[in-house]
Amino acid sequence: MGLNSIGLLVTFSVLAVAAMATTVWLWPRLSPARWSAVLGRVGALAVCQAFTLAALGLAVNQYFAFYSSWSDLLGTDTATAPITVAASGLQVLSTRSVPGGRIEQVIMPGPSTRLSEEAYVFLPTAYLKHTTERFPAIIALTGYPGDPRNLMTRLDLPGRMAKAIAQHQVNPTVLVMMRPSVVLPRDTECVDVPNGPQVQTYFANDVKHEMTTHYRVAEGRDSWGILGGSTGGYCALKIVMSHPDQFAAAVSQSGYFKTIVDGTTGDLFHGDKSVEQRNDLMWRLANLPAPPVNVLVTSSRKGESDYPATMRFLSAVKPPMRASSLILPSGGHNFNTWNRELPQALPWLAQQLVAPAA
């Protein structure tokens, strides 16, 4: 059975309950003060804990989508794929209607970077009805490794956008839901890696180019924003700050402000100090002209390790850049916290974008 199959979770849950019931039934026989009985008690408790922890681990992994398969969990999945671009450009794989619009699953090619990634495009009802108008757009990014479906199943971004549109909080806006890790299993942190994958350029140029080419999405920077959580939040801030000619605003939920370099990233800078500095948002604020963009950063006073860094970032922002914050009293680095922030954060971002005249 697959790591994320319901059958496997049910099996270990039943085994955990059975082990506990068996231990309770056998406990009187294991009560004598003999070495064999002591070892029996230790063994029974160990079996109970093992099955219980396995069931809990499977449930948590299914909810947060940390690992997609056994090989992913064990670290034996080393398969890679060549960087390719479909000859016909953007490909629509599937289409389904949802309340408030339609979602299209697509392959998003990168003509300039030769990268390619899956995306889910939410088209609001107004897009489907008004066939001559162009609309603002938001790129929404997961964390690492991330599954773009989580943006729909865990965060309900299409539903939230449809509700905000219906309540006349925002203009109809297209969503482009993706993960930032376009060369899995490597985490590139949205860096243009020297002599490697140009991930920042892919999101800043290629994704926008494909959307404006294949959909009725406005081309101007004032009609484009980026939203992301965790790694996606760092990417959102960095891309908007690095490409103010392409984007007007960003939301970073529990994001950080400097590239993480570890075993999942490998060498992202290849000894080029200037590349490392440009990917450090605090360095950018201190040493480069402030970009004319508007950003919202979120955190929590208790539960988020990025809170002190978030406060330093807010203090370092200077005009013409503008920064707002949404700080919860408490909340961890998880979907529950982000769901509490999104009712304000998503409309805020859409309100910063300009809907072009018909």
Residues 284 and 321 in one domain: yes
Query: What is the sign of the dihedral through the CA atoms of 252, 175, 155 and 235?
Result: negative
- Would 357 be classed as within a structural domain? no
For residues 144 and 18, membership in a common domain is answered with: no
Task: Determine, yes or no, domain membership for 173.
Answer: yes
pLDDT at residue number 83: 45
**22 and 117 within one domain:** no
Per-residue pLDDT at 9:
81
pLDDT at 81: 47
326: domain CATH number is: 3.40.50.1820
pLDDT for 194 equals 96
| Nearest C-alpha neighbor of 231 from the set 200, 194, 275, 187 | 187
The DSSP string of 72-129 is HHHT-----------TTSSEEEEEEEETTEEEEEEEEE-TTT--EEEEEEEEEHHHHH
Closest CA relative to residue 326, chosen from 353, 351, 301: 301
Whether 113 maps to a domain, the answer reads yes
Is residue 79 situated within a structural domain? no
Domain stop point among 26, 45, 74: 74
Q: Facing residues of 198 across strands?
A: 192
Tally the C-alpha atoms within 13 A of residue 102's C-alpha that lie toward its C-beta: 13
Query: Same structural domain for residues 44 and 134?
Result: no
Q: 173 and 233 in one domain? A: yes
Cβ contacts of 256 within 8 Å, gap of 6 or more: 230, 233, 234, 306, 309
Judgement on whether residues 141 and 13 belong to the same structural domain of the protein: no
Domain count, the chain: 2
Residue at token pair 């406060």: 311
Q: Are residues 98 and 218 in the same domain?
A: yes
In this structure, the answer to whether residues 106 and 254 fall within a common structural domain is: yes
Check whether residue 99 and residue 182 sit in a common domain.
yes
Tell me: do 46 and 187 sit in the same domain.
no
Note whether 53 and 176 are same-domain residues. no
- Model pLDDT, residue 42: 86
- Domain check: are 199 and 314 in the same one? yes
| Burial grade of 151 (CB within 10 A; 0-12, 13-18, 19 or more) | buried
| Tens-digit pLDDT string for the chain (358 aa) | 777 778 888 888 898 899 888 888 888 877 776 777 788 888 888 988 998 998 888 888 776 666 667 776 666 665 554 444 444 589 999 999 999 999 999 999 999 999 999 999 999 999 999 889 999 999 999 999 899 999 999 999 999 999 999 999 999 999 999 999 999 999 999 999 999 999 999 999 999 999 999 999 999 999 999 999 999 999 999 999 999 999 999 999 999 999 999 999 999 999 999 999 999 999 999 999 999 999 999 999 999 999 999 999 999 999 999 999 999 999 999 999 999 999 999 999 999 999 887 6
Can you give the residue range of the structural domain that contains 323? 91-351
Distance, CA of 137 to CA of 119 (rounded, Å) = 14
